[in-house]
Chain A
Amino acid sequence: MSTSRTPTLDPAKDRSQVRQKRMIAEHFERLARAKEEGRAVVYTFVPGNLTELIGAVGTLPVLPEINALQSGMRGRSGAYITEAEKSGHSEDVCTYVKCDIGMLRSGNIGPTGTKIPEPDLLLLSYTGCFTFMKWFELLREQYKCPVVMLHVPYQADGVITPEMRQYVVRQLRDKVVPALEKVSGRRLDLDELSQRLALSARAEDDLVAVWESARHRPSPIDGYFGGVYYIGPIFSAFRGTEDAVAYYRELREEIEARVAAGEGPLCPDGPLGPERYRLVVEGPPNWTSFNDFWRMFSREGAVVVASTYTRVGGLYDTGFRHDPAHPLESLADYCLGCYTNLSLPKRVELLERYIRDYQADGFMINSVKSCNSFSAGQLLMLRELEKRTGVPGGFIESDLVDPRYFGKANIENRIQSYLQMLEARRQGGYA
C-alpha cells in the first residue's frame, strides 16, 4: 500500500477531490451573483431532486439539507438548533430543519462565507420524507415565496406502477415545469433537458463503477464515510452537467488505479491499514463529529463496502439510469426509486444483497434521532437481516447535526464491542 500521501482530514486530495472543491466553490459564486445576474434560485431537496430540469430552465438549485450538514461539519449546527428551539421549535423534531431555520435567522451565511440568496421558488419534491413538506411550509412562512409541490408516491408494495409514474409525470408537466418557467422567464427546451439527462446517465455509470469497486479486497473505497464525498456532485447541483461527467470519470480512474495498486481507501488519518472488517452501513452519518466517527471504524481496520445513505439521492446500482428518450418519465422513475421511498421489505432486500455481494463481515445501523424516514423499522431490519444472512448486526444511535446526541464514548464502546465480537466469531469464539 502506498504511503506517499500526506495524512489529511479530507478523505483524499486526489485530483477528483480538488475538482469537486472547485465545482462547489464556483456554484456558490454563481449563487452569490444570482440576484444581480437575474437568475432565479430554486430551493429543493436531495431525494427526488430535479437538477436537470432546474438547470434546463436556467435556474440555480440550493439544497437546504446540504447547508445543514455543512453547518454540522463546521461546528455551527448546535447554535443554529438552539436558535430555532428558542423560537418555539420542539426538541423532538428533525434537526436538519431546525439547523436550517436557525441558519436563516442568523443571516443565512453559506459554507463559503457568502450569504445564500433567498429562494424565488421552493420546489417541494416530497420524496420519501414527510418532514420535507413541513420544512418548506416553514420556509414559505419566512420567505413569502411560491412553493410548487411534487407529490412522489411511496413504493409501499416495492414496485413502481404505471399509475404512480403517470401521477408524477402529470405533476411535472402541469405544475412543476410551469412554475419553473414562471420564475425563470424561460420556456423549457425538452431537447436541452434530454441532453442533460444523457450527461446524468454517463456520470451514473461511473458512479456505479466506483460503488462496485468495493467488491475488491481490499476495497479501494470507503462506501459510507468516503462515499458521502463521492455523492456530493451528483446529489446536489451538478447532475446533468459536463462538470459531473468529468468528475466521475476522474474519480473512477483514480479508484481503478487504486484497485490496480491493491490500495485501500484514504481515511482521516491517511491510508487505511490492513483491511480487517468489511461492513455494510444503514442510515445517515453523524455530521457534527464526522471524522471522529469515521476514525472509530478506520482505526480498527473496518471499511464500509456499501451503504444505503449514499443511495438516498438516487439508487443507480440496481440498474436505473436517467433516460434522455423519456425525460419526464425518467425523472419520475428517479424520484420514485430513491432509497427512502422504498418499502421496508425492499430496503431489507437491498441490504441483504449488499451484504452478500460485497462479502461483508457485518452490518451496522446508525439510527439517527432526526430521521424517522430512515429510523422507524430499523430494529426489525436488524433482526431480519441477521436471520436472512447469518451476518451479525450492530446498532448505534446518534443524530444528523445535533451535537447533543453524539455520545462519543458510548458510540465508540459499542463499535469496539461489535468489532471484537466479529473478531471472536472469526476465531471461532462464537457459534
Chain B
Amino acid sequence: MLDPGPAPAADPCAAILERALNLVEDHTFAAVRVWKREHPGSLAIGHMPIYTPRPLLEAMGCLPVGVFGAGPQIDIIRGDSYFQSYMCHIPRSTLELALAGHLDDLDGMIFPSICDVIRNLGGMWQMLFPDRYAAYLDLPQDFSPAIGGHFYALQLRAIARDLEARGARPLADAALERAIADENERRRRLETLDDMRRCEPWRVRASEAYTVVRAGTLMTAHEHTALLDEFLAALGRRPVRAFDNARVVVSGAFCEQPPLALIQTLERAGCDILDDDFQLGLRMIEGPITVAPGRDPLEALACAYLEQGAATASRYIDEEVKGRALIGKVRACGADGVIFTAASFCDPALLDQPMLETALDAAGIPHTSVKFAENAGQFQTIREQAGAFSDAVKLWEGQT
C-alpha cells in the first residue's frame, strides 16, 4: 500500500525536515564546528549509542554530540582494516570518520557499555588517539541506588572532573538542575511526537520523526525543544488523509542505525511504524527526571537510569519478565505486530531476539525479522518481506 504523502510544496514540515536531514546526513559534523565557533573555549563531547546522560555534559557547558557511525554516507576503507568481517558496521564507520578527521572537532568521546565491540572500540580510541579524551561509561547492571546507583554517580563525577580538567565549566548543582529541566522539556515534546505517531501515523511518518529526533543528538536539549515545537506546530497544519496500513512496532536497532531508506522501505511496504527503539538514547529515561528539593541533582540523574531506564538488550532484566516491555509497547499503541530489525552481528539485539520472540508468541503477537547494515543499499527483499507481513497481519486482523 503506497503512501505518497503530502505534496512537498504544500507541506509545512518540508523545510524543517530538510534542515534536520542535512544535519543527520552531514558526516563532517559542520554543525559542531559552527557551535564551537559560537562558544569559544567550550568542549564538544561525542558519545556512542545507546545512552549517555547528556544533561551532565550540558551543565558543564559542553555540547553532547551523538555519534552513530557514518550510515551509507561514506565508503569505508581504513575502518575495515581494523575489524574482522564478522563484526557489525558501526565501529568501522566510526573509526573511518575519526581517521578521516571528521571527528576532529570533538574534544572527547564517551563509550557507553553497550557491548564488547563498542567497549573495545573505546580501547582502540585510547591507542589511536592518545591525546584525545576517551571515557568508558560503565552503566550499572545493579539497580540498587545504594550499590549500582552509588557506583554510577561516582563515574559521572569522575567524567565531570576529567572534563573540567580539559576546560569545561565546573559542575554546579544549579546548572545541572537547569540542564535536567531542559532535558525534561525535550522529553515532553518527544512524548507528544510519539503520541501523534501512535494516533495519526499518517500525519507523521516514522522516518520523518526519526530524522527530527536524531537531529537533536547534535544540539542542546533547549535548541532541540525549539525545533520539536516548530515541527509539532507544522505537523498540526499538515493536510493529511488516513491510510489503512498495518500498525507495527520496530525493535532492535538501538545502536547501529538502519539507513533512512530502510525505514522508508518498511513504510512503503504498508507498515505504519507506531513505536521503535531507533537511537534509543534520547528516550532511554522514561518520563521526567525528578530532582526533589534538597536532593543532589547528579544522584537524581543517576537514579533516573536505575529506576526509569527503558528495557533494552544491553540492560540486565532482573525481576521483570523478559519481553514484557515490548508487549506493553505493542498493546499501548495498538500495534498489529513487531518487525525485529537488528544490525548484522549485533550481539545484544540478536541474542535478545529469541527471548522476545518467545514472549510475543505467548502473547499471540505476530512478528517477523530482518537484518541490515548501516550502509546497505538494497531493500527489495526487505520490502517484500515487510509487505507480506503487513498483508498477513491485515488479512488475519482480529482472528487470532
**Which A residues lie at the B interface, using CB under 8 A?**
87-90, 92-94, 97, 124, 126, 129-131, 133-135, 137-138, 140-141, 147, 149, 151, 153-154, 156-157, 163-164, 166-167, 170-171, 174-175, 343-345, 347-348, 367, 369, 372-373, 375-380, 384, 397
Contact = CB atoms under 8 A, between A and B. Distances in A.
Given A171-B142, A344-B127, A92 B86 contact: yes
A90 B116 CA distance: 18
A50 to B, nearest CB: 16
Contacts of A378: 84
B116 A131 contact: yes
25 contacts: A87-B354, A88-B353, A90-B342, A90-B350, A97-B351, A129-B116, A133-B316, A137-B322, A147-B318, A151-B148, A153-B151, A156-B136, A163-B151, A167-B151, A171-B147, A344-B124, A345-B126, A372-B115, A372-B117, A373-B120, A376-B116, A376-B119, A378-B84, A380-B128, A384-B127
Contacts of A379: 81-84
B127 A372 contact: no
Contacts of B379: none
B297 interface: no
A376 B140 CA distance: 22
A129 B116 CA distance: 7
Nearest to B119: A154
B223 interface: no
B142 A375 contact: no
A92 B322 contact: no
Contacts of A90: 342, 350-351, 353
A157 B127 CA distance: 12
A141 B322 contact: yes
B314 interface: yes
B126 A344 contact: yes
B141 A133 contact: yes
Interface residues of B, number: 57
Nearest to A84: B354
Interface in B44-95: 81-84, 86-87, 91
Contact of B147 (A129, A167, A343, A375): A167
Contacts of A343: 122-123, 126
B142 to A, nearest CB: 5
Contact of B86 (A89, A97, A133, A369): A369
Nearest to A344: B123
Interface centre among A90, A149, A157 (most CB of B within 10 A): A90
A133 B119 CA distance: 15
A367 B344 CA distance: 19
B82 A134 contact: no
Nearest to B346: A92
A377 B84 contact: no
Interface in B112-134: 113-117, 119-124, 126-128
Nearest to A346: B123
A134 B313 contact: yes
B352 A88 contact: no
Interface of B: 81-84, 86-87, 91, 111, 113-117, 119-124, 126-128, 135-136, 138, 140-142, 144, 146-148, 150-151, 154-155, 313-314, 316-318, 322, 342, 344-348, 350-355, 357-358, 371
B156 to A, nearest CB: 12
A134 B148 CA distance: 19
Given A88-B357, A131-B347, A149-B142, 18 more contacts: A137-B355, A138-B354, A149-B141, A154-B119, A156-B122, A156-B123, A157-B136, A163-B154, A167-B147, A167-B151, A170-B146, A170-B147, A369-B84, A372-B115, A372-B120, A376-B91, A379-B83, A380-B124
Contacts of B313: 134
Given A141-B358, A344-B127, A149 B350 contact: no
B126 A134 contact: no
B141 A151 contact: yes
Contacts of A133: 141, 316
Contacts of B317: 137
Contacts of B347: 92-94, 130-131, 134, 372
Contacts of A375: 84, 86-87
Nearest to A153: B138
A143 to B, nearest CB: 13
Given A170-B147, A171-B147, A376-B116, A151 B87 contact: no
Contacts of A397: 84
B142 A372 contact: no
Contacts of B86: 92, 369, 375
A379 B116 CA distance: 15
B316 A149 contact: yes
A380 B317 CA distance: 34
Interface centre among B119, B155, B314 (most CB of A within 10 A): B119
A376 B90 CA distance: 12
Nearest to B343: A92
Contacts of B352: 134, 137
Contacts of B135: 156
A376 B344 contact: no
A202 B357 CA distance: 48
Nearest to B95: A380
B116 A151 contact: no
A190 B20 CA distance: 60
B35 to A, nearest CB: 28
B89 to A, nearest CB: 12
A149 B347 CA distance: 19
Nearest to B354: A88
Given A369-B86, A397-B84, A92 B154 contact: no
3 smallest A-B Cβ distances: which pairs?
A344-B123, A156-B136, A134-B351
Nearest to A90: B350
A376 B117 contact: yes
B355 A377 contact: no
Contacts of A93: 347, 350-351
